[in-house]
């Protein structure tokens, strides 16, 4: 397809609301004609309802025209004569890689939501779809969060950060992310599909949100240099533990009155012990990394998901946190090992050079060191970042170029998760 022409999107069996969020905004490289091939049922209806809400909203409405094929043979029907050149896959994780592999073989570029795999048996398919064109990429929204982008930029400045502090007992890179099983999306309660609690379909916690944290660590430590699992990763520890879900809360989350049969092995005294929390420790290019991904039951009133990331440097620690004391927006602090007039001047110059990342960014001193001031208008929110991932992906497709590091990062990331899964079960 010639550069700068319109691409046509095919949405394949959208079982996760992320598929809908990708269509939150129109895109100049994407036709308004969107083709949907899916099993009929509540998941498809939720997707259609979300896209319709985007079309009907008063401010900046979209104008998607959906052409829908319903049936259990949706993938075979699609592959007989693909109506588009770009496919979106966001649904059941156990079949995601095999679906993406068939789309890849048919010549479609594929944008796939995490998680791509649930165990190491699927790594061969991963290698196949990332080793050659057409282009395949996963949806990593957190690389577009403004505080994270500033944190990474500051970590690359030796006058501000120095280098990663690797000689202490604490990890040089640490993440903790807390999500909630019951939450709202686009202002309405999210009802999760029942297969969300089936490990054989969704996978366990160590291959879920952890994907984002591992991806962020690769971005922060390796930058654009790429990573290789055998060369750069040493996995040292991996474990998982459950969140307890009473039946009443399970019913609110899924709409079901009883636990499904497949989950009964993990139920005792009317409580489902859902294996969704994970911790991984490893080194990446000699830099110690630790990630914690946690699932609580429900967002407390007035609350939200929380996030914490610290990069420990030889000249300063860079801390991003998001929680009740930040009004659930990300906050970035620079905590110098030693403060001085010269250091503050370097910080001032560094932030002045980051106006392309965040127009109006500044700083002020506080009791910890320096608080980076991020203008509210530069914060786009989690749901809006899906459109930014789509923009990056279509830019690659339109240019006909695929940075080798992207494929390398994909393989390394999912190998780490698959091996961490195995280690957690030993």
- pLDDT beyond 60 at 4: no
**Residues of the chain with pLDDT > 70: what percent?**
98
The residues that bridge with 320 in the sheet, in sequence order, are 309, 332
Question: Is the per-residue pLDDT at 39 higher than 70?
Answer: yes
Q: What pLDDT shows up at residue 15?
A: 77
- 104-113, 232-241, 379-388, 412-421: the lowest-pLDDT one: 379-388
Average pLDDT over residues 338-342: 93
> For the segment 185-236, what is each residue's pLDDT rounded down to a tens digit?
666 777 888 888 999 999 999 999 899 999 999 999 998 888 999 999 999 9
CA distance from start to end of the chain:
49
Q: How confident is the model at residue 349 (pLDDT cuts 50, 70, 90)?
A: very high
Instruction: Work out the number of other CB atoms within 10 angstroms of the CB of residue 404.
Output: 8
What per-residue confidence (pLDDT) applies to 305? 87
**What six digits make up the tokens of 355?**
């106006």
Whether the predicted pLDDT of 21 surpasses 90: no
Interacting residues of 143 by C-beta distance below 8 A, sequence separation 6+: 149, 215, 216, 219
- The DSSP-derived string for 383-395 is TTHHHHHHHHHHH
- pLDDT at residue 2 is higher than 60: no
Say yes or no to pLDDT of 96 above 90.
yes
Does domain 143-378 fall under CATH 3.30.360? My reply is yes
Instruction: Give the model's pLDDT for residue 380.
Output: 77
Tell me the domain boundaries of the chain. Answer: 7-139, 143-378
Q: Which of 285, 372, 290 is nearest to 336 (CA)?
A: 372
Kindly report the number of other CB atoms within 10 A of residue 168's CB atom: 9
Whole-number pLDDT of residue 141: 87
Rounded to two decimals, the pTM is: 0.92
Beta pairing class for 271-284 and 287-298: antiparallel
- Given a contact cutoff of 8 angstroms between Cβ atoms, the answer to whether 149 and 143 are in contact is yes
Q: Which residue has the higher pLDDT, 1 or 143?
A: 143
More confident residue, 304 or 64: 64
Mean per-residue pLDDT over the chain, rounded: 92
Closest among 9, 8, 72, 11 to 37, alpha carbons compared: 11
Task: Give residue 134's pLDDT band: very low, low, confident or very high (50, 70, 90).
Answer: very high
Position 415 scores a pLDDT of: 96
**Residue 302 pLDDT class (50, 70, 90 cuts):** confident
Residue 291, C-beta contacts closer than 8 angstroms, at least 6 positions apart: 174, 175, 176, 177, 210, 213, 214, 217, 278, 279, 280
What per-residue confidence (pLDDT) applies to 187? 67
Residue 309 in tokens: 């990331």
Question: Is the per-residue pLDDT at 267 higher than 80?
Answer: yes
CATH number of 7-139: 3.40.50.720
Give the mean model confidence (pLDDT) for residues 74-82: 96
Q: Of all residues in the chain, what percent carry a pLDDT higher than 90? A: 73
């Amino acid at each position: 397809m010639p550069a700068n022409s319109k691409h046509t999107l095919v949405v394949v069996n959208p079982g996760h609301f992320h598929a809908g969020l990708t269509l939150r905004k129109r895109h100049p490289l994407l036709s308004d004609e969107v083709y949907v091939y899916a099993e009929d049922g509540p998941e498809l209806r939720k997707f259609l309802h979300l896209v319709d809400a985007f079309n009907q909203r008063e401010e900046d409405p979209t104008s998607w025209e959906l052409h829908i094929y319903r049936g259990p043979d949706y993938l075979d029907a699609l592959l007989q004569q693909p109506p588009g050149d770009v496919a979106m896959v966001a649904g059941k994780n156990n079949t995601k890689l095999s679906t993406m592999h068939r789309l890849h073989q048919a010549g479609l570029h594929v944008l796939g939501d995490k998680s791509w795999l649930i165990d190491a048996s699927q790594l061969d398919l991963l290698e196949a779809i990332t080793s050659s064109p057409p282009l395949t990429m996963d949806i990593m929204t957190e690389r577009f969060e403004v505080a994270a982008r500033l944190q990474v930029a500051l970590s690359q400045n030796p006058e501000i950060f120095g280098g990663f502090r690797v000689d202490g007992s604490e990890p040089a890179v640490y993440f903790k992310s807390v999500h909630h099983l019951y939450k709202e999306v686009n202002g309405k309660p999210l009802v999760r599909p029942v297969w969300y609690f089936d490990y054989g379909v969704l996978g366990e916690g160590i291959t879920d949100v952890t994907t984002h944290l591992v991806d962020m660590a690769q971005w922060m430590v390796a930058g654009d240099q790429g990573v290789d699992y055998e060369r750069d990763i040493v996995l040292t520890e991996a474990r998982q533990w459950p969140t307890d879900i009473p039946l009443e809360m399970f019913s609110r989350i899924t709409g079901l009155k009883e636990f499904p049969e497949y989950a009964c092995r993990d139920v005792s005294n009317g409580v489902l012990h859902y294996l969704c929390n994970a911790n991984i420790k490893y080194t990446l290019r000699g830099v110690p990394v630790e990630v914690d991904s946690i699932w609580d039951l429900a967002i407390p009133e007035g609350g939200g998901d929380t996030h914490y990331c610290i990069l420990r440097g030889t000249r300063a620690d860079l801390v991003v946190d998001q929680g009740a004391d930040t009004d659930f927006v990300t906050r970035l602090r620079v905590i110098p090992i030693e403060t001085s007039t010269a250091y503050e001047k370097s910080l001032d110059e560094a932030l002045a050079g980051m106006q392309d990342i965040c127009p109006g960014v500044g700083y002020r001193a506080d009791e910890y060191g320096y608080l980076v001031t991020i203008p509210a208008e530069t914060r786009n929110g989690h749901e809006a970042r899906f459109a930014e991932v789509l923009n990056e992906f279509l830019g690659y497709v339109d240019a006909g170029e695929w940075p080798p590091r992207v494929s390398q990062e994909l393989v390394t990331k999912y190998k780490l998760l698959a091996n961490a899964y195995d280690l957690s079960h030993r």
